Structure 1
Amino acid sequence: MVLFKKKGDTDFLNMLILSAENALKGAVVFRNAMAGDKPPANYVPELKDLEHRGDDITHQIYTGLNQVFVTPLDREDIITLATTIDDVMDGIEATIARFDYLNITFTDQVMKDFADVLVSSCDHMVTAFKLLSQKKYLQIREHTVQINRLENEADRLMREGIRAIFTNPKDPYHDFRLKEVYERLETTTDSCEDVADILDSVLLRYA
Structure 2
Amino acid sequence: MRFRLTPRETSFYDMFAASADNIVTGSKLLMELLGADASARAEIAERMRAAEHAGDDATHAIFHQLNSSFITPFDREDIYNLASSLDDIMDFMEEAVDLVVLYNVEELPKGVEQQIEVLARAAELTAEAMPNLRTMDNLTEYWIEVNRLENQADQIHRKLLAHLFNGKYEAIEVLKLKQIVDVLEEAADAFEHVANTVETIAVKES
TM-score, with length taken from structure 2: 0.91
Give distance in 1, aligned partners of 2:144 and 2:167: 35
In 2, are the aligned partners of 1:41 and 1:99 still within 8 Å (CA)? no
Is 1:200 matched with 2:199? yes
State the one-letter code of the partner of 1:120.
Answer: R
The residue type equivalent to 1:156 in the other structure is Q
Please tell me the root mean square deviation across aligned C-alpha atoms, in Å: 1.4
Residue 38 of structure 1: how far off its partner (Å): 2.9
Following TM superposition, by how much is the alpha carbon of 1:74 offset from its aligned partner in structure 2, in angstroms?
1.2
Structure 1: any 5+ residue segments left out of the alignment? 5-9
C-alpha displacement of 1:136: 3.6
Query: Does the Cα contact within 8 Å between 2:16 and 2:83 map onto a contact in 1?
Result: yes
- Matched with 1:11 is 11
Report the alpha carbon displacement of residue 3 of structure 1 after superposing the two structures with TM: 4.2
Distance across 2 between alignment mates of 1:68 and 1:148: 32
Q: Kindly provide the CA deviation profile for residues 16-37 of structure 1, in whole angstroms up to 9, marking residues without a partner as x.
A: 1100110111011111111x13
Which structure has more RCO (C-alpha within 8 Å, separation ≥ 6)? Answer: 2
1: CA distance, partners of 2:37 / 2:74: 43
Q: Distance in 1 between matches of 2:46 and 2:98?
A: 9
1:149 aligns with 2:148: yes
Change (3 A) 1:104 1:41: farther
Gaps of 5+ in 2: none
Moved more, 147-156 or 103-112: 103-112
Kindly indicate whether the alpha-carbon contact (under 8 Å) linking 2:125 and 2:142 is maintained by their aligned counterparts in 1.
yes
Assess if the C-alpha contact under 8 Å between 2:108 and 2:177 holds in 1. no
In structure 2, the partner of 1:7 is none
Q: Indicate if the aligned counterparts of 1:154 and 1:186 stay in contact, CA closer than 8 A.
A: yes
Partner Cα distance (1:165, 1:136) in 2:
43
Q: Which residue of 2 aligns with 1:29?
A: 29
Separation in structure 1 between the aligned mates of residue 169 and residue 92 of structure 2, nearest angstrom: 27
Match of residue 51 from structure 1 = 52
Task: Find the aligned partners of 2:37 and 2:14 in 1 and give their Cα distance.
Answer: 34
Contact map agreement 2:136 2:202 (CA 8 A) in 1:
no
Letter of the 1:195 counterpart: V
Residue by residue over 1:95-150, the C-alpha shift from the partner in whole angstroms, topping out at 9 and shown as x without a partner, is 111012212132232111111111100111111111112x143x101011111111
Confirm or deny: 8 A CA contact 2:45 2:94 kept in the other structure: yes
Give the alignment of 1:1-207 within 5 angstroms.
Answer: 2-4=7-9, 11-34=11-34, 36-39=35-38, 40-133=41-134, 135-137=135-137, 139-207=138-206
Q: Any conservation in 2 of the 1:3–1:11 contact (CA below 8 Å)? A: no
Q: 1:182 to 1:128 in 2, by over 3 A?
A: same
Mapped to 2, the partners of 1:175 and 1:148 lie a distance apart of: 28
Deviation at 1:41, TM superposition (A): 3.5
SS at structure 2 position matched to 1:190: helix
Q: What is the identity, as a one-letter code, of the residue corresponding to 2:178?
A: K
